[in-house]
Structure 1
């Protein structure tokens, strides 16, 4: 008699693979949400990138609009030994001529240090500063090294060291600062130090001091406000130095170039996302920003005059170009007209455009996109919980099925064995 059986691992079904396939189907709504999230994140990233460029464009335009930009000055020195610079307080057209009489020096004093330099160390030494204040210093011993340590530890603006020279060791004292304010005297050494370099202020003379002119001193080699808003440093004794202050057209030109660069960066970012295949290709609001930037330049200033006289023009590829030479010529010919064209017409228009595009157009889109991303993430997370529950339910269901089938299989085996034994018993009884 033939036996019956249930083949495979109980059910003969690859339940793990089956559950995986069923879960793939069940997860299709979540997969769609994930695709929506990816697309929304791409759009949001594009909005944010464009907004960043617009913010930079507005900042560059505002810099051109600033009155301080057009008040920029530079100081030119007739001597390479005198380096000058200006602050916002300098007035174009101001100038001065002077002689550098001497440079500032720091005091250097030395004393022989072949042996002890203080015969009675317990008495210490005294250092007198330029104000006449005496600073008493105690010594560990009478050696030059001990004196140097005491002076350095006192932090009096004097550095001391033992210098090994060709003629033997010297104890050297050097003022940290230049000028008469750094002068000092060291008392209490067995031999009074010899001053090699005196502490002196730098000095310049404007005109002849003996005939109505005057001198100006500085503790350093830097002079401030000899001409209002001008700082200069002297590096050599020289006569007939002239420093003249003029408008700094180069600094202004650099600001306009920065504006053109910011506009081009904005156009490039817009093109990246609105061009063929871009995530914002069909977004009219964003595409209109590109047209607005280009039209702002193409229509020229408030009178309809091209921006070419200040060096700004459109190129055939839809970008802006800046010619510094053209700006310099236009500014030199009529500074007020150049300022009106660049600061009011060009920078003013681009600043307003960038601000409105950012606050009115992009900010709401970014806020909405951010909200949508948050909602999609929440829905996806909810689906994670739901799908996990479904997977658990399926696993429990198929596990129960396997257990039931195992029991049936055991019963089948028992019945098969019992029937076989009965058949053998009947065969034996017939013999």
Structure 2
């Protein structure tokens, strides 16, 4: 039978209250564990704040490891309505006189007027319009028509073709077909308000003297001739012209300090080294190229701010406030003192390998205040900028300086050690080439006979076809290069070739890529006509040593040996001779070294990670102690309750006996 227990009811003892108070005393070690855990959690959070501050400091340092951060250059035009400029770090400071005499424009040609734009032209049988792009030279231009001129195709612009049939053989249809084809021509219809107002107008999408158009109109040889479309659209600047020119293709022309410069667009690159010019109108002005000291000042000030932010965080975590009489959560922690000391020592040390005339931060106006924060003397910084702005970059960044102008520093990694390393080149990189054995046998290209090549360039294959025509030798070279470089399979893969001809008329096709991955091969019905029995030569990778150890060559790039002081170093060798090629001096500035130092703190195996691991281990230990203590407290409480319940029962029994005896004695007294 079940019984109900209510401690203390029979005896009057407050068993629950007594046990609760006793357990409060017994539980004091649990409270101590909770307080200790809270202290550890606070420290863990403090180390998290320190890690975050170091991470922010490291992020700021990352940008300072690149020399370009300190090599910003500006190009300013005295008259921006004539020309503007933008500069890279390669630009040379100076003032340049610029005179713009001609602006680039595209060629525009138009058909004779038609009564309507919807009327069909010709019999509607399939006819191909072929657009070529090139330069017009010689002759005279009268009322939009050339006489006695010559046309030479641009080898770097692919031909384009459009098929016109019964579905699109009106001005509107031709316009839409040309625009849809995306062949470098924009077609529109212009109405002049006359009795035959509608003119189909073609405009090259590219500007420049080499973007003039030539339009051929051809039918399948088996179809009967239909001159109607040709009478409207055929256009050859060197022969018959059924269309008239309203705007000539021309390039931008200007002089820089009296030297003639030409560009196919309004943008002119490298007329001034490292500067891109954008011409807007004809006129004269000056371009001033100067080092951008504003960018350098901003970088230095950002460095000072990020350091002071870190210093402020460390002070807050380790300091003592006499007003509140409270210490920071990491006050007295040896790990934080070590981090703070190492960073300050590095910033106060002298670089032994800068090679720029600047070796300490104090030389550019950086110093420490008495409270440990960093200060910047702007006057001293400006003096350093004026006298040695390039050296400031070397003071902070990782810089590789070569003594040979045809050997350039590309990049390095954290594995690359500072110092000077000798360079020796045993083999220069070469390009894959397919060289003809004889001059083209026939300059007339016939469809299905000698018009096709199956080409493999740098491992990518495609088929190209030359447009049927009778070419000059140079024209055939230009057409072949244009057709190859215009092939989608090649252009989409970033592959291009150069087609050249030697003094005997033999043609060569050369990949623009260098190294062992560069190759050119060909088959097809046009091979023997164009190249005879060609000889293929694969490209060769550059080879040599850096610091006396064999380096790895890939194309024109030479990489330092793994496990050596030059590991991670990449150089580009663009020419010159084999043999000794000077040296590369690697210097690592403050930003680079600090970045590596901070890695030792915030990395997965760093000081903070180790400290945090120890704290977490202590927290886990407290958890285990708490669990063990809770089990012991449960047993103690159980024992207390058993003991007091037994006492309660005993007192209750004695109370019952007392009551019974009292009653019995009372009855005995009443009998007397």
Which category describes the TM-score, using the shorter chain as reference length?
0.5 to 0.7
Question: Greater shift after overlay, 361-370 or 161-170?
Answer: 161-170
More helix by share: 1
1:232 Cα shift? Answer: 1.5
Match of 2:276 among 195, 220, 231: 231
1:45 Cα shift? Answer: 0.5
Match of 1:158 among 167, 185, 204: 185
Equivalences for 1:127-276 in 2 at 5 Å? 127-131=130-134, 132=153, 133=159, 135-139=161-165, 140-162=167-189, 171-186=200-215, 188=229, 191-192=232-233, 193-205=243-255, 215-239=260-284, 241-276=285-320
1:294 Cα shift? Answer: 7.0
- The separation in 2 between residues aligned to 1:82 and 1:254, in whole angstroms, is 28
- The separation in 2 between residues aligned to 1:355 and 1:383, in whole angstroms, is 40
**TM-superposition CA deviations, 1:26-48 (whole Å, max 9, x none):** 98798568536523431330331
Tell me, yes or no, if the aligned pair for 1:106 and 1:174 is still in contact at 8 Å: yes
Question: Greater shift after overlay, 147-156 or 174-183?
Answer: 174-183
Tell me, yes or no, if the aligned pair for 2:601 and 2:609 is still in contact at 8 Å: no
* Match of residue 108 from structure 2: 108
Tell me, yes or no, if the aligned pair for 2:44 and 2:615 is still in contact at 8 Å: yes
Question: Greater shift after overlay, 161-170 or 144-153?
Answer: 161-170
* Match of residue 86 from structure 1: 87
* Match of residue 425 from structure 1: none
- The separation in 2 between residues aligned to 1:143 and 1:389, in whole angstroms, is 96
CA distance change for structure 1 residues 216 and 35 in 2, over 3 Å: closer, same or farther?
same
Q: TM-score, normalised by structure 1?
A: 0.64
Question: Greater shift after overlay, 312-321 or 37-46?
Answer: 312-321
CA distance change for structure 1 residues 191 and 375 in 2, over 3 Å: closer, same or farther?
same
- The separation in 2 between residues aligned to 1:387 and 1:161, in whole angstroms, is 90
Question: Greater shift after overlay, 268-277 or 257-266?
Answer: 268-277
- The separation in 2 between residues aligned to 1:151 and 1:217, in whole angstroms, is 30
CA distance change for structure 1 residues 109 and 47 in 2, over 3 Å: closer, same or farther?
same
**TM-superposition CA deviations, 1:237-262 (whole Å, max 9, x none):** 113x3334443333332332222222
CA distance change for structure 1 residues 389 and 137 in 2, over 3 Å: closer, same or farther?
farther
State the superposition RMSD in angstroms: 5.2
* Match of residue 429 from structure 1: none
- The separation in 1 between residues aligned to 2:382 and 2:396, in whole angstroms, is 15
CA distance change for structure 1 residues 294 and 138 in 2, over 3 Å: closer, same or farther?
same
1:313 Cα shift? Answer: 5.7
* Match of residue 43 from structure 1: 46
Tell me, yes or no, if the aligned pair for 1:285 and 1:361 is still in contact at 8 Å: no
CA distance change for structure 1 residues 123 and 109 in 2, over 3 Å: closer, same or farther?
same
1:382 Cα shift? Answer: 6.7
1:82 Cα shift? Answer: 1.8
CA distance change for structure 1 residues 374 and 176 in 2, over 3 Å: closer, same or farther?
farther
1:137 Cα shift? Answer: 1.9
CA distance change for structure 1 residues 357 and 374 in 2, over 3 Å: closer, same or farther?
same
CA distance change for structure 1 residues 281 and 165 in 2, over 3 Å: closer, same or farther?
farther
- The separation in 1 between residues aligned to 2:192 and 2:330, in whole angstroms, is 77
* Match of residue 335 from structure 1: 388
Tell me, yes or no, if the aligned pair for 2:212 and 2:249 is still in contact at 8 Å: yes
1:51 Cα shift? Answer: 2.5
Equivalences for 1:252-401 in 2 at 5 Å? 252-276=296-320, 277-287=327-337, 310=364, 312=366, 319-322=373-376, 327-329=381-383, 331-332=385-386, 334-335=387-388, 339=392, 352=593, 355-356=596-597, 359=600, 364-372=606-614, 375=617
CA distance change for structure 1 residues 338 and 175 in 2, over 3 Å: closer, same or farther?
closer
1:366 Cα shift? Answer: 1.7
* Match of residue 413 from structure 1: none
Tell me, yes or no, if the aligned pair for 1:137 and 1:151 is still in contact at 8 Å: no
CA distance change for structure 1 residues 43 and 253 in 2, over 3 Å: closer, same or farther?
closer
**TM-superposition CA deviations, 1:3-31 (whole Å, max 9, x none):** x97477xx9xxx9xx99x99x96987985
**TM-superposition CA deviations, 1:324-348 (whole Å, max 9, x none):** 566335533x33898599669xx95
**Number of residue pairs matched by the alignment:** 373
CA distance change for structure 1 residues 383 and 119 in 2, over 3 Å: closer, same or farther?
farther
Please list every run of 5 or more consecutive structure 2 residues that lacks an aligned counterpart in the other structure: 10-15, 135-152, 154-158, 218-228, 234-242, 321-326, 353-359, 398-587, 643-672
**TM-superposition CA deviations, 1:129-158 (whole Å, max 9, x none):** 215546242342323332123112322112
> SS where residue 122 of structure 1 aligns?
coil
1:104 Cα shift? Answer: 1.0
* Match of residue 418 from structure 1: none
1:71 Cα shift? Answer: 5.2
> SS where residue 156 of structure 1 aligns?
coil
Tell me, yes or no, if the aligned pair for 2:601 and 2:608 is still in contact at 8 Å: no
1:50 Cα shift? Answer: 3.2
Please list every run of 5 or more consecutive structure 1 residues that lacks an aligned counterpart in the other structure: 402-431
- The separation in 2 between residues aligned to 1:160 and 1:145, in whole angstroms, is 9
- The separation in 1 between residues aligned to 2:168 and 2:597, in whole angstroms, is 77
**TM-superposition CA deviations, 1:193-243 (whole Å, max 9, x none):** 4433222211123577xxxx6x3221111222223322212111113x333
**TM-superposition CA deviations, 1:312-331 (whole Å, max 9, x none):** 46678864454656633553
Tell me, yes or no, if the aligned pair for 2:210 and 2:264 is still in contact at 8 Å: yes
